[in-house]
């Protein structure tokens, strides 16, 4: 039984806030509230995706253990858009490393295994990129990382208003529903979502989901 569980694939997202030390005390307090609120909303938007409710470390860092790894990329983008939409600071952003692999031991928000180790190492590597992907198990992981690199470039430029729309698009709302929710015109939604490069990002999300699900199916068929 334990052997089967050890083969289950998980995703771990390790993240921190970029240049959080430059925030004022009031901004930092607001940030912590928003990060906690984001964790709760992720559980609502992506039901049964998280293994445990994430905890904050040092006030600006976190780890998410995701038991539905095909949703990891969507969750990372949701986190980025949520911070930008709620904080409404052009300088606010997060660095995140997405890994997919096995987990040998889990207790509450703490765990041991390749998924944890690879995610932490990827985040520690210096560089300009803010979204990264790493996996020792997923085939063509370098291709997936390239796709996430492209989405990172696009999403890092999202404005707070674009992020409000993206958050709803990530919940599979169409333009009409988004316009009604935000009380703006559908034309305004169309213009903003095009400027946000959503067509490219949504295709990237679909590719990621299919790649991970196909890997999981292939792994199950071998048993």
- Asked if 51 and 65 touch (Cβ cutoff 8 Å), the reply is yes
Buried b / exposed e over 5-15, threshold 16 CB at 10 Å, is: eeeebbbbbbb
Total domain count, the chain: 1
pLDDT of amino acid 58:
67
pLDDT of amino acid 6:
42
- The CATH number of the domain holding residue 111 is 3.30.70.1230
Cα-flanking dihedrals φ and ψ of residue 87, to 5°? -75, -30
CA 33/CA 90 separation, integer angstroms: 18
Whole domain around residue 213: which residue ranges? Answer: 2-222
Q: Which residues of the chain are modeled with pLDDT < 50?
A: 1-6, 217, 220-223
Average pLDDT, the chain: 87
Label residue 169 left, alpha or beta by phi (over 0 means left) and psi (-120 to 50 means alpha). alpha
Strand order of the β-sheet with 131-134 is: 56-57, 61-66, 9-17, 94-102, 131-134
pLDDT tens for 122-136 read 998 878 899 999 999
């Amino acid at each position: 039984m334990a052997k089967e569980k050890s083969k289950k694939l998980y995703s771990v997202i390790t993240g921190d806030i970029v240049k959080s030390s430059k925030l004022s005390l009031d901004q930092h307090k607001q940030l912590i509230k928003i990060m906690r609120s984001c964790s709760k909303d992720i559980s609502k938007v992506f039901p049964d995706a998280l293994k445990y409710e994430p905890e904050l470390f040092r006030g600006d860092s976190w780890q998410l253990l995701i038991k539905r790894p095909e949703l990891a990329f969507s969750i990372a983008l949701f986190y980025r858009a949520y911070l930008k939409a709620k904080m409404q600071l052009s300088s606010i952003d997060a660095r995140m490393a997405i890994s997919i692999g096995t987990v040998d031991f889990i207790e509450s928000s703490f765990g041991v295994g390749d998924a944890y180790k690879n995610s932490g190492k990827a985040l520690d590597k210096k560089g300009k990129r803010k979204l990264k992907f790493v996996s020792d198990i997923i085939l063509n992981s370098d291709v997936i990382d390239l796709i996430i690199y492209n989405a990172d470039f696009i999403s890092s430029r999202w404005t707070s208003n674009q992020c409000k729309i993206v958050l709803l698009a990530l919940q599979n709302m169409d333009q009409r529903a988004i316009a009604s929710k935000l009380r703006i015109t559908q034309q305004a939604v169309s213009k903003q979502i095009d400027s946000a490069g959503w067509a490219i990002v949504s295709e990237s999300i679909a590719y990621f989901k299919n790649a991970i699900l196909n890997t999981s199916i292939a792994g199950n068929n071998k048993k």
